[in-house]
Amino acid sequence: MTLTHSKVSNWQNFLAKSQRKISVGLLTIVLLIFTLVVIVPFIWMLLMSFRTTGEILSDPYGLPKTLDLTNYIKLMFDPEIHFYTYFVNSIHVTLFSLILTVALSTLGGYGFGRSRYEFKFRGWLFALLLFALMLPPQIMYLPQFTMMGKYGLLNTRWSLVLLYTASALPVSTYLMATYFSQLPSELEDAARIDGCTDLGMFWRVMLPLTRPAIATVVLINFLNFWNELLLAITMVTNPEMRTLPAAMMMFVGEHGSDYAIAAASLVTAMLPVLVLYLFLSDKFIEGLTAGALKG
Amino acid sequence: MSQIAIHQEGQQNLRIQARKGKRKPLGPIILFIAPVMIFYAAFVLYPLIATLYYSVHTVEPVQGKLVTTFVGLENFKSLLSDDIFFLSVKNTLLWAIAGPVVEMLTATTLAFLVYFKTPLHRFYRVAWFTPMLVSGVIVGLVFRWIFNYDWGLLNSTLRAIGLDQFALNWLGRRDTPIWVVIFVHYWATFGYSFILLLAGLTAIPEELLDAAKVDGANTLQAVWRVMLPLLRPTFLTVLILSFMGKMRAFHVVWVLTSGGPMHFSETVATYVQKRAFGWRTLDLGYPSAIAVFWFGVVMIGVALLNRWLRSRMD
- Are B35 and A277 inside 8 Å of each other by CB? no
Is the pLDDT score of B83 beyond 90? yes
Domain ranges of chain B: 75-313
Would you list the domain boundaries of chain A? 2-70, 81-294
pLDDT of B1? 40
What are B246-262's pLDDT values in tens digits? 998 999 999 998 887 88
Compute the nearest-CA separation of B138 from chain A (Å): 6
Chain A contact for B125 (CB, 8 A cutoff): yes
Taking residues A239-244, what's their average pLDDT? 90
What is the pLDDT at residue B44?
95
| Contact: B295, A139; criterion CB under 8 Å | yes
Q: What are the chain A neighbours of B32 within 8 Å (beta carbons)?
A: 107-108, 110-112, 117, 198, 202
- The whole-number average pLDDT for the span B22-33 is 84
Q: How confident is the model at residue A8 (pLDDT cuts 50, 70, 90)?
A: low
CB B250 within 8 A of CB A136: no
Measured between CB atoms, which of A44, A227, A293 is closest to B153? A44
Name which of B37, B118, B137 is nearest A125 (Cβ-Cβ).
Answer: B37
CB atoms A135 and B44 under 8 Å: yes
Query: Would you say residue B277 has pLDDT above 50?
Result: yes
Chain A residues near residue B214 by CB distance under 8 angstroms = none
Amino acid A295: pLDDT: 45
C-beta atoms of B146 and A41 within 8 A = yes
pLDDT for the residue B178: 92
CATH superfamily of A81-294: MetI-like (1.10.3720.10)
To the nearest whole angstrom, how far is the Cα of B303 from the nearest Cα of chain A?
A: 11
Q: In which band, very low, low, confident or very high, does the pLDDT at B163 lie, cut at 50, 70 and 90?
A: confident
Between chains, do B134 and A227 touch, taking CB under 8 Å as contact?
yes
Question: What does the alpha-carbon distance between residue B11 and residue B50 come to, in Å, rounded to a whole number?
Answer: 49
Q: Which residue of A has its CA nearest to B300?
A: A134
Here the contacts of A127-134 (C-beta below 8 Å, separation 24 or greater) are: A128/B45, A129/A169, A129/A170, A129/A173, A129/A174, A129/B36, A129/B37, A129/B40, A130/A170, A130/A174, A130/A295, A131/A170, A132/A167, A132/A169, A132/A170, A132/B40, A132/B44, A133/A170, A133/A171, A133/A295, A134/B244, A134/B298, A134/B299, A134/B302
Are A162 and B43 in contact (CB < 8 Å)? yes
Residue B313 pLDDT greater than 70, yes or no: no
Q: How far apart are CA B268 and CA B255, in angstroms?
A: 15
Considering the four listed CATH numbers 1.10.3720.10, 3.90.1580.10, 2.40.10.220, 3.30.540.10, the one that applies to the domain covering B75-313 is 1.10.3720.10
**Mean pLDDT of all residues in A11-40:** 88
> What's the 3-state SS for A130-190?
HHHHHCCHHHCHHHHHHHHHHCCCCCCHHHHHHHHHHHHHHHHHHHHHHHHHCCCHHHHHH
Q: What percent of chain A has pLDDT over 70?
A: 94
Q: How far apart are CA B308 and CA B312, in angstroms?
A: 6
* Contact across the interface for A108 and B268, Cβ inside 8 Å: no
Closest Cβ opposite residue B32 in set A110, A146, A169: A110
- Taking the whole predicted model, whether its pTM rises above 0.90 is answered as no
- CA dihedral for A154, A158, A164, A167, sign (positive or negative): negative
Enumerate residues 148 to 167 of chain B having a beta carbon within 8 A of any beta carbon in chain A. Answer: 150-153, 156
Cβ contact, residue pair B255, A249, below 8 Å: yes
In total, the C-beta contacts within 8 angstroms joining chain A to chain B are: 266
CB contact under 8 A, A146 and B234: no
Under 8 Å between Cβ of A82 and A240: yes
**Optimal mutation site among B9, B20, B32, B66, interface A, most CBs of chain A within 10 A:** B32
Per-residue pLDDT at A6: 54
Instruction: Give residue A79's pLDDT.
Output: 77
The pLDDT tens digits of the residues spanning B166-192 come to 888 888 888 899 999 999 999 999 999
Give me the pLDDT at residue B12, please.
56
| pLDDT value at residue B213 | 81
- Using an 8 Å Cβ cutoff, are B164 and B158 in contact? yes
pLDDT at B2: 46
Chain B residues touching A39 at Cβ < 8 A: 127, 130
Please answer yes or no on whether A41 and B142 come within 8 Å at the CB atom. yes
Nearest chain A residue (CA) to B132: A223
Q: What is the pLDDT of residues A130-172, one digit of tens each?
A: 999 889 999 999 999 999 998 999 999 999 999 999 999 999 9
Percent of chain B with pLDDT over 70: 92
The residue of chain B with its CA nearest to that of A21 is: B119
**pLDDT range class, residue A176, cuts 50, 70, 90:** very high
Residue B141 sits at the chain A interface (C-beta within 8 Å): yes
Of A143, A165, A292, the CB nearest to B54: A143
Residue of B nearest to A226 (CA): B135
pLDDT score recorded for residue A255: 56
CA-based nearest residue in chain B for residue A189: B11
- Give the model confidence (pLDDT) of B209-232 as tens digits: 888 888 887 878 888 888 888 888
Whether the pLDDT of residue B21 is over 60: the answer is no
The answer, yes or no, to whether residue A190 has pLDDT greater than 90, is no
B196–A289 CB contact, under 8 Å = yes
pLDDT given at position A254: 59
Percentage with pLDDT > 90 across chain B = 49
The per-residue pLDDT of chain B, averaged, comes to 87
If you count DSSP H runs as helices and E runs as strands, how many of each does chain A have, helices first?
Answer: 14, 0
| pLDDT at residue A294 in the model | 56
**What's residue B8's pLDDT?**
55
Name every chain A residue with its beta carbon within 8 A of the beta carbon of B191. 38
| Residues in A touching B277 (Cβ below 8 Å) | 234
pLDDT of residue A10 exceeding 90: no
Contacting residues of A for B234, CB less than 8 Å apart: 293
Query: Does the beta carbon of B48 lie under 8 angstroms from any beta carbon of chain A?
Result: yes
Residues of chain B neighbouring A111 (CB-CB closer than 8 A)? 28-29, 31-33, 36
Asked if A285 and B129 come within 8 Å (Cβ–Cβ), the reply is: yes
Confidence of residue B18 (pLDDT cuts 50, 70, 90): low
pLDDT in tens, B50-77: 999 999 998 888 877 788 889 889 899 9
